[in-house]
Structure 1
Amino acid sequence: ITIILILFIPLLIFQHTRAGEIIGGHQAVPHSRPYMAIIERELPSKKASFCDGFLLNKEFVMTAAHCQARLVFLGVHNFHHRNGVQEISSEEAYIHGNFINTDTVFKNDIMLIKVKGNFPVFETNKRTIFNKGVQPIDLPDPGSLSRPKSCLVSGWGKTSLTAKHQSGVLMEVNVTVTDRQCPMEHSYCCDGESGPYRGDSGGPLVCEDGKAYGVVSAFFTPHSGDPSINIFTKISDYASWINSTMKHHGMVN
């Protein structure tokens, strides 16, 4: 029986931070991944829950479609230390029209969040400000057919299979895109022994040229006892949708 285990298990408000690593990885150098964003999800239960995302320009953040957005935090390394962090409200979330969410699978798991330009940022700024800790990341060229191999994943998710809480500081891990066919269309896959875990949904798969090639979506185990596989939404397959969405709903920077 194929089992899909979803990565968006809620972050537990970053309290009682557990020392450790994104599975198999290490703590990132503070603000060395300035494109990273924490996204507070908007849930009916009102219980705090978080995903990751990444900044494309001053107006748009990319994340997974299953991450409903309320607030976006930029410039974060340690979530307990808010100095220099920009907190911006979500103006609108644009979920891919063919996104499918079932009990066993996500398909077309990609979303763009437009952030409000006039929301107070910790009572000092009123828009997304680029600085050392806040910078956008580029996406691969739409016509590129090359498959990345050596990549990196960052996030504030759980650091082990048994961890009760997510990491309060940004972790990162190197992963290798597999040659074998992914179980999902429009996806990249990496072996799951090292990689993202619960709470890392929506973060980027950043590869050799420093561009974001994928969005952390899910992981699955083909059969009981088999190694798990991490699934990333393949960004280049959605280039037309990304460009048209940003063109019609904002100004591409």
Structure 2
Amino acid sequence: MWIPKTLLVILIFALHGQVLPARIYGGQEAVPYSRPYMVLLERRVRNQMKYCDGFLLSEDFVMTAAHCKADSYNALLGVHNFNKGPEQNISVKQAFPHQDFDQNHVLNDIMLLKLSTKASFSGHVKAIRLAGAGGSSLPGHCLVSGWGSYNRERENLSPTLREINVTLIEDTECAEEHLYCSSGEKGPACGDSGGPLVCENALAFGIVSFAAKEIYGFTKISDYKAWINSVLKN
């Protein structure tokens, strides 16, 4: 089921030579504010406004995908319908993309963002815990959420947060490249990059990284725990 790297690169770099962020195809609107860890990232890239998703690790750190790197960012917190505005809008002080991020093959696709001021936690704004190393079996009962377009014919963002359940697949190459993967017609594709793959006990297991045909890749967070801890401490 794995897509060869040469084909994957063609697919994900089809738009302006950049990785295509993912969007929720299928699924349904999330219960308002039921995912308080979700962050909508406003990204300024060469004077253009673009969007990715992310999720709160603490009062002052957001995790997202490294291919969401930009010239500057604003983290919008406490959002369900973005037309109504966020509860908190905090600029990003510093970005920490993984030093081995490979844009050509979308490897090590993980980034931490340090907020300029601490978020104020509330019923609508909370951090999510990260999964530990776990066993050899894949996590079950996984969910992805985001504001990406849910219509394959349109590129517009969904005004409201949407979510979909995904089932992870056993794949040797995915595991070797520090990824979880899922497959099927429904899943993340253009606008949801950087959001969390949330599984058992509401833990963040992965980061939405790429979509190519009917294969979806999620950076496996537990494989980067040492790097994450070094950034948070230093």
- The reply to whether TM is greater than 0.5 is yes
Paired amino acid for 1:133: H
Number of aligned positions between the proteins = 220
Superposed, 1:94-109 pairs within 5 Å as 94-102=96-104, 105-109=105-109
Q: Does 1:173 align with 2:178?
A: no
Paired amino acid for 2:24: I
Counterpart of 2:7?
2
Counterpart CA distance in 2 for 1:139 and 1:40 is 23
Paired amino acid for 1:35: Y
Note the C-alpha offset of 1:174: 0.3
Note the C-alpha offset of 1:193: 1.3
Counterpart CA distance in 2 for 1:56 and 1:189 is 23
Counterpart CA distance in 2 for 1:180 and 1:247 is 33
Counterpart CA distance in 1 for 2:134 and 2:156 is 40
Q: Is the 8 A contact 2:78 2:88 kept in 1?
A: yes
Larger relative helix fraction? 2
Note the C-alpha offset of 1:142: 4.0
Superposed, 1:190-229 pairs within 5 Å as 190-221=182-213, 228-229=214-215
Let me know the Cα RMSD of the aligned residues: 2.0
Counterpart CA distance in 1 for 2:203 and 2:21 is 27
Note the C-alpha offset of 1:164: 3.1
Which of the numbers 85, 88, 94 marks the counterpart of 2:87? 85
Note the C-alpha offset of 1:181: 2.9
Q: Does 1:134 align with 2:125?
A: yes
Q: Does 1:54 align with 2:46?
A: no
Counterpart of 2:30?
28
Counterpart CA distance in 2 for 1:115 and 1:39 is 12
Paired amino acid for 1:98: D
Counterpart of 2:233?
247
TM-score for both structures, normalised by structure 1: 0.81
Q: Is the 8 A contact 1:8 1:198 kept in 2?
A: no
TM-score for both structures, normalised by structure 2: 0.88
Counterpart CA distance in 2 for 1:64 and 1:164 is 20
Q: Is the 8 A contact 2:20 2:210 kept in 1?
A: no
Gapped regions of structure 2 (runs ≥ 5): 1-5, 13-17
Q: Does 1:160 align with 2:151?
A: yes
Larger-Rg structure = 1
Counterpart CA distance in 2 for 1:113 and 1:164 is 26
Q: Secondary structure of the equivalent of 1:80?
A: helix
Note the C-alpha offset of 1:57: 0.3
